[in-house]
Structure 1
């Protein structure tokens, strides 16, 4: 089914009466990101309950009947009369188009209605009245808004309001007062963020090295928050870059040019992938020896199949480096107050590592007003239900900066952290290595079969201070419908093995079956997550290494489709 792409009526209309409504974005800064197809854009995803969460957090909607209507297209049309979009360009940004995309029932990205409108960029409101458009019967859910720019890196400030049909009652919303970043209440919040001061032996060594003018590298590994999601611009307003600058100010010599920055956050991925890409993304295949490593996976590690074993392995992998880097654990939090701090904090306590908790700092004060100790509201802290705004990233940075200062003030711990002991959860993957088409010298015997192509449509990530995305796992094996039905086969000596495959929202990507030593292990389905994403899955985890034969072949209903093996993670 073809999607319906429309533009709205151009003739002037009588003024629309003032309707009740609620905001889902208020003065949100957006940034044009380069895409593999189409114009540079800021994509605002609204499926999977995100729209209802925006209504709740940003709009203050608590009526469950109204929130329920936002879960699908039919309910949205019953509730929403029109959409107001206000855009104000920042700096040299040019023209901006607003795109509304519904996801379809038949083809998620191909059969839903798409509406495109040119925005006013002077802050005046553009009203889209829903009844003025034709809507596909295949519409399932409001999938996303796109704000399309002329060039990547351009910025704008956006407000979006949903105006309701008559008969719906909602409370009036009050605008939050500005955050007072220098107030005593703010400083008290930073104090609460310091979950554990920890052993400062390694950190003090790095700080003194920096003061002497020697080269010091501070590195960050984590999920989308470490990547910088929600920060605009993503490369300079993210917590990682801002806390790196704080470290430079505190300890760098002169202008701080001796302090270097490595950022390796990958959206939607857990420490299960982080431990595999550590050598590539943090050590840069041996070219970098970080002095400080900050690990942030507290809101991603529901995807750790080993329930903390991959996280502890990553922590130990970092601590065991020959140059003895300081390791700091950072626990971020979602807008529903959830994270995995309860699971991961015992690991930090066990090795007496410095730890920062955003949930300890901010969650309780979310439920207070300014008179009783509130510092920042949820709608000020969160860009969406997962990621911080610029203000939120600043708070994360300030929490780390407070930890830096307190570790520096404390007398140096004489003894180093003790790591040669029984793990809390598990250390079986501390030696995990990446295997891909590039890094496979004498590690595995591979027959590519029909998986001979290379996939270039990959998850893109802004590494370090770069504003542009870098492709993840570019040395991959892709199967195309034209490349035949022969299986991918690999013989490898290992104790454990993970396959990393590409998730995709494209309908022409299919499922693959994975066999180990002739026995079926799993079906790799690229549509479970529904977006271009790296997905690591365990194939086996044994007590001792042995030789195994791996086979990957297309499932019977996917013979005419694509599938991409991004790589493998293995231990011996």
Structure 2
């Protein structure tokens, strides 16, 4: 057995700080057959990890972590170790720098081959010939010999002379059965609301009838930060807790429809396809977009439209609004909770639960940010557990309230009649899109016709997500239209459609061969769709037009003049008749 490589300067005890400490990792099988755990460090994530894990407060250090040039000024070497059940297994560690011109292919890769025995390998930055295209620290990858292997990883930065770091933080094990933990979970109940529909779901489960729980949201609902993602995510854990407490004979079914990096603007369009697929009729739907909707150009209209869309389904499912939180103690619950108040819906706030004790306002801290957050956006396994426990607490309180009865009155009406009256009233923010539908190559619309032009190819390099209990991934919007850069004489797509609102869904990409496209409505330029604004592979929904009356319009999507040799993918459209 080969031991770890000794550091180049073992005689010198260098200052250091961790960016990962005891973090769970798991190699998930990729399309090329490799088993990989990705950890993204761009867009401020690396500095945030230094703050949360390494206790770094020095603004100069945090600023240096934002670029490769600064990173090289600060960091002398990287120490990395992985501890696994099978210590002889090998793992490849890569810290990839992103390039200026070629995002994924132009930067330097720092590489080490480890064994899962917990021994640290040191990567010395001076051993590398650095790329001229280096821009920012990009991502960490752990590649395993076999898929679904689980381990715990430490990554720390040893600093160059002249830099100091605080002492390593010490953390106590989180006691999930303590009084302080229970009080923290209790704080998550922002609004109990009208519990009638939830109580009906509980009674149905207890009676042994089949019950379906559905979860729709962004990357946290997808399970990001959970290792492994399909069984350690909050949605799966909440479903298991509900099954254990209320069900008989495994009569609870589970739908998970989280898509990373996407807001309710896209969620409302894909709800029918991803949640109501194949005739599904979920009894309870948890909606989680409180950290994804910052870029929602409708400022909550899409969110409320989705909520109303679900509440108005013929079988009257229960709806729970879940407000997750980022590591900077932020979410959009102040913007979105008026929607829950309008329909008196149960609301659960993870921000309200955990942030008071992060700040030290509590006498005894239950959990640190490092223990709760995997990165600046996503929870750890423990964080996902807390989210699931908060949802279970809501269910417990609903169960102890009055049982669902036809004669359960409030203000002279049954609870269901009260909700239906609210739905007939004015919305809190807006209901412009509650009847939105998806249009793509498979799902047509009789009020639409199109000329594909040069957009006649199909893109197979798509954002893929883990649905339901699956570890294997499902591609998003496979029935698309792609311009592949080879038909400059037909570099357009034209849609004639009769509707009052239209969304374009297009593919974001960090690839150098992706180009921009101009969007015109009835011959008038509206905007340029740029796949590099977000610069990573995911789905982007943009409002093309919204009018009071339904009318016929011609929408032309054409490659920008200098991008005729580039690629652009129309994933689909959302329309309101």
TM class by shorter chain equals over 0.9
Is the 8 Å Cα contact of residues 210 and 259 (structure 1) preserved in structure 2?
yes
User: Is 2:555 the counterpart of 1:562?
Assistant: no
User: 1:465-476 residue pairs with structure 2 within 5 A?
Assistant: 465-476=469-480
CA shift for structure 1 position 38: 7.0
Is the 8 Å Cα contact of residues 488 and 565 (structure 2) preserved in structure 1?
no
User: Is 2:403 the counterpart of 1:406?
Assistant: no
CA shift for structure 1 position 10: 7.5
CA distance in 2, matches of 1:178, 1:562: 50
Aligned-partner SS, 1:393 = helix
User: Is 2:217 the counterpart of 1:215?
Assistant: no
User: Is 2:353 the counterpart of 1:349?
Assistant: no
Of 91-100 and 546-555, the range deviating more from structure 2: 91-100
CA shift for structure 1 position 14: 6.3
CA shift for structure 1 position 251: 1.3
Indicate the residue corresponding to 1:434 in structure 2. Answer: 438
CA shift for structure 1 position 303: 2.2
CA shift for structure 1 position 174: 2.5
User: Is 2:477 the counterpart of 1:450?
Assistant: no
CA distance in 2, matches of 1:168, 1:478: 50
Is the 8 Å Cα contact of residues 442 and 479 (structure 2) preserved in structure 1?
yes
User: Is 2:378 the counterpart of 1:387?
Assistant: yes
CA distance in 2, matches of 1:421, 1:369: 40
Of 226-235 and 170-179, the range deviating more from structure 2: 170-179
Is the 8 Å Cα contact of residues 270 and 304 (structure 1) preserved in structure 2?
yes
Indicate the residue corresponding to 2:251 in structure 1. Answer: 258
User: 1:115-514 residue pairs with structure 2 within 5 A?
Assistant: 115-254=110-249, 257-285=250-278, 287-368=279-360, 372-411=363-402, 412=404, 413=408, 414-416=414-416, 417=419, 418-486=422-490, 487-514=492-519
Aligned-partner SS, 2:461 = coil
CA shift for structure 1 position 34: 3.0
CA distance in 2, matches of 1:380, 1:548: 52
Is the 8 Å Cα contact of residues 503 and 541 (structure 2) preserved in structure 1?
yes
- Aligned CA distance change for structure 1 residues 98 and 16 (closer, same or farther; 3 Å): farther
Is the 8 Å Cα contact of residues 52 and 68 (structure 1) preserved in structure 2?
yes
CA shift for structure 1 position 484: 4.3
Aligned-partner SS, 1:162 = strand
CA distance in 2, matches of 1:556, 1:226: 39
CA distance in 1, matches of 2:489, 2:226: 44
Cα-to-partner distance string for 1:447-492 (whole Å, 9 max, x where unaligned): 1110111100000100001011110000000111224432211111
CA shift for structure 1 position 139: 1.3
Of 347-356 and 10-19, the range deviating more from structure 2: 10-19
CA shift for structure 1 position 93: 9.3
CA distance in 2, matches of 1:118, 1:379: 26
CA distance in 1, matches of 2:304, 2:428: 8
CA distance in 2, matches of 1:443, 1:33: 42
The gaps in structure 1 that reach 5 residues or longer are: 1-8
Aligned-partner SS, 1:567 = strand
CA distance in 1, matches of 2:28, 2:552: 44
> How many pairs align?
560
CA distance in 2, matches of 1:104, 1:552: 29
CA distance in 1, matches of 2:364, 2:116: 37
TM-score scaled by length of structure 2:
0.94
Indicate the residue corresponding to 1:109 in structure 2. Answer: 104
Aligned-partner SS, 2:450 = strand
Q: Which of these residues, 543, 558, 565, is aligned with residue 553 of structure 1?
A: 558
Of 95-104 and 429-438, the range deviating more from structure 2: 95-104
CA distance in 2, matches of 1:130, 1:423: 57
Indicate the residue corresponding to 1:5 in structure 2. Answer: none
CA distance in 2, matches of 1:208, 1:92: 48
Is the 8 Å Cα contact of residues 112 and 121 (structure 2) preserved in structure 1?
no
Cα-to-partner distance string for 1:507-557 (whole Å, 9 max, x where unaligned): 001001111111111111001111110000001000011111111111011
Q: Which of these residues, 537, 545, 548, is aligned with residue 540 of structure 1?
A: 545
Aligned-partner SS, 1:485 = helix
Is the 8 Å Cα contact of residues 93 and 155 (structure 1) preserved in structure 2?
no
CA shift for structure 1 position 35: 3.0
CA shift for structure 1 position 89: 2.1
Of 94-103 and 214-223, the range deviating more from structure 2: 94-103
Of 420-429 and 169-178, the range deviating more from structure 2: 169-178
Is the 8 Å Cα contact of residues 26 and 150 (structure 2) preserved in structure 1?
yes
Is the 8 Å Cα contact of residues 33 and 41 (structure 1) preserved in structure 2?
yes
Aligned-partner SS, 1:124 = coil
CA distance in 2, matches of 1:116, 1:176: 30
CA distance in 2, matches of 1:441, 1:307: 28
Is the 8 Å Cα contact of residues 93 and 149 (structure 1) preserved in structure 2?
no
Is the 8 Å Cα contact of residues 93 and 156 (structure 1) preserved in structure 2?
no
User: Is 2:520 the counterpart of 1:527?
Assistant: no
User: 1:79-90 residue pairs with structure 2 within 5 A?
Assistant: 79-90=74-85
Aligned-partner SS, 1:147 = strand
Indicate the residue corresponding to 1:3 in structure 2. Answer: none
CA distance in 2, matches of 1:10, 1:113: 21
Cα-to-partner distance string for 1:22-51 (whole Å, 9 max, x where unaligned): 000001001212334572211111111111
Indicate the residue corresponding to 1:39 in structure 2. Answer: 34
Cα-to-partner distance string for 1:93-125 (whole Å, 9 max, x where unaligned): 942101121112222222211232211221000
TM-score scaled by length of structure 1:
0.95
CA shift for structure 1 position 91: 6.0
Is the 8 Å Cα contact of residues 272 and 303 (structure 1) preserved in structure 2?
no
User: Is 2:70 the counterpart of 1:75?
Assistant: yes
Q: Which of these residues, 508, 515, 519, is aligned with residue 520 of structure 2?
A: 515
